[in-house]
Each structure stands twice: as C-alpha cells, then as structure tokens.
Structure 1
Amino acid sequence: MRVQQIDHVTLVVKDLEASRQFYVDTLGMEVVPRPNFDFAGSWFRAGETLIHLILESERSGPAGVNEDGRNKNSRCTHLAFSVPDAREAASELEAAGVPFLDPPKLRPDGACQVFVTDPDGHVVELCSG
C-alpha cells in the first residue's frame, strides 16, 4: 500500500453557517456538493483537498478540539493550507476581525506562517514558501 495524498479532513462544528463563513467567505474555499447523508454537514474544497464539516449531534463527536486547559498555539494539532502570500493573508484576516494565535512569522527554512482558529477552535495555519 502507498498513500497518495490527503483526500479530506473532517471537522465537527457547532454552527454550519459560522463555519461556512470562515472557510468560504474568509479563506476563499469553494462549496462543493455533498451526498445526501442522514446527518447535517457541508463540504468545501481547498485545491485538491476537501474539508468535510459535520454538525455536532448526539451521533457525532464533540465540536472543536478537546480542551485540556492549555493555550492553543502553533505547536498543537492543526490544519495547514498553503497560500500565495501568508503576510497578505494575515492582513486580510486582520481586516476581517479574525484574531491571531500567532501573527506572521518565518520558519527556519524561510517559509512564512500565520495561525488562527476557526469558529470552533480548530487551529488553522496559512503558510507560503
């Protein structure tokens, strides 16, 4: 067996519309058709990767990430998306009122990264080479 790529990431959320606004309106992802499952959700596309959202219910896991009292930061579990320019993305996020976990910073290899959270507290990194 050989894994080819990430097909999709599934996140459980409390509010599908708030999450749609973040992933589509703020991050610029595309809404894509979703099969007619017997539970609520939404699908978005970022390049070749799909983001599957499932509305929190008694049949799902909890929305967001498990909290253990520690602060979220760039070294915790997160999703990372490449963008053409992370500094420009940070300016757009700031204008949209999205708070930073970590403002734009350079990695030792020169890539620029910025960290924010989605409405349910999932940590999202935007990075550029």
Structure 2
Amino acid sequence: MPPSPLQVQSIDHVTIVVRDLAATRRFYVDLLGMREVPRPPFSFAGQWFQAGATQIHTILEFSGSGPAGTGAGQNTRGHHFAFLVPDAAEAARLLVERGVELVSLPKFRPDGAVQMFVHDPDGHLVELSSPPGTSVESGPA
C-alpha cells in the first residue's frame, strides 16, 4: 500500500469534559505546572492549558457535552493520556506530598521508561512518564 498523502504531525490537543473549572485548573496548573492560555469565546464554558506544544481543552459539563470523566477507574491499560516529565518518580513523590492519591506507583515500562498514574478531579486517568534511564527510586515508599 502506498504511503498516505495525509501526514499527521502531532497531537494538537485533548479535550475533556469537567464538572468544576477551578478544581481542574488547580490540578493542571498548580499541580502539573501547565499554564492557562487564552481560549476563544465559545458559547460554552471551559479553559485551555498548555505544556510545550500540547494543550488540554476543558469543557464545563452541560447539556450539549458528554458527561464529565471517563470512567477509566484504576485500569491503566484503558483510556488515558500521558505527559512527559523529567522524573516520574519525583513527580509521584511531589503529588503524594500535596495529598494526591496515586493510581499506581512509579514502575518501569518494558522500554525502560518510568510511568505512574493519577486521576484528575473528574476521574480522567493521567499518566506521567519519564524517559528510559530515570529511576523509580525517588518516588513514594
């Protein structure tokens, strides 16, 4: 089969439906260190957060949106999205220090990267991963 003339370059954004804009901002900005960026004047409430070239777009749950959250639960092999961080174990330690319950402790993936999982305020499953060569040692005991 010949290569597709359509060539996806990267993920531009992920959109999630949320119940509480302030709690969502605290999670993505205050805990994960993303920054809030301007959002066009849509006819529904929401906010946009950015880290590098990646954006998270939030929509406040309303009759024209789907329900908030994903129902992913504790299954780290189901629906989730991931952010690259310098040290996933250190990220886990910092989150626990701030009272955030982890879904999973830092662990190695088969490719050597370190990954850990946490829920945002609406139950969206968020992976924080660091490149191969980082340790799982600096995380919580």
Q: TM-score range by the shorter chain?
A: over 0.9
* C-alpha distance in structure 2 between counterparts of 1:57 and 1:126, whole Å: 29
Q: Are 1:81 and 1:126, in contact at CA under 8 Å, matched by a contact in 2? A: yes
Separation (CA, whole Å) in 1 of partners of 2:27 and 2:61: 17
Identity of counterpart residues, as a percentage? 61
SS in 1 for 2:127: strand
Indicate the residue corresponding to 2:85 in structure 1: 83
What is the deviation of 1:66? 4.0
* 1:17 and 2:22 are equivalent in the alignment: yes
Post-superposition shift, 1:115?
0.3
After superposition, residues 1-129 of structure 1 pair within 5 angstroms as 1-66=6-71, 71-129=73-131
Q: Distance in 1 between matches of 2:127 and 2:71?
A: 18
Shift of 1:84: 0.3
Q: Deviations over 1:12-63 (max 9, x none)?
A: 0000000000000000001000001110000000110110000000111100
Deviation for aligned residue 1:109:
1.6
CA distance in 2 between counterparts of 1:20 and 1:66 reads: 20
TM-score by length of 1: 0.94
Structure 2: runs of 5 or more not aligned:
1-5, 132-141
SS in 2 for 1:19: helix
Equivalent residue pairs, number: 126
Structure 1: segments with no counterpart, 5+ residues: none
Deviation by residue 1:65-91 (Cα, 9 ceiling, x = unmatched): 147xxx422111101000000011011
In the alignment, residue 57 of structure 2 is paired with which amino acid? H
Give the TM-score, by structure 2 length: 0.86
Which letter maps to 2:102?
F
Root-mean-square deviation (CA), in Å?
1.0
Letter in 2 for 1:96: R
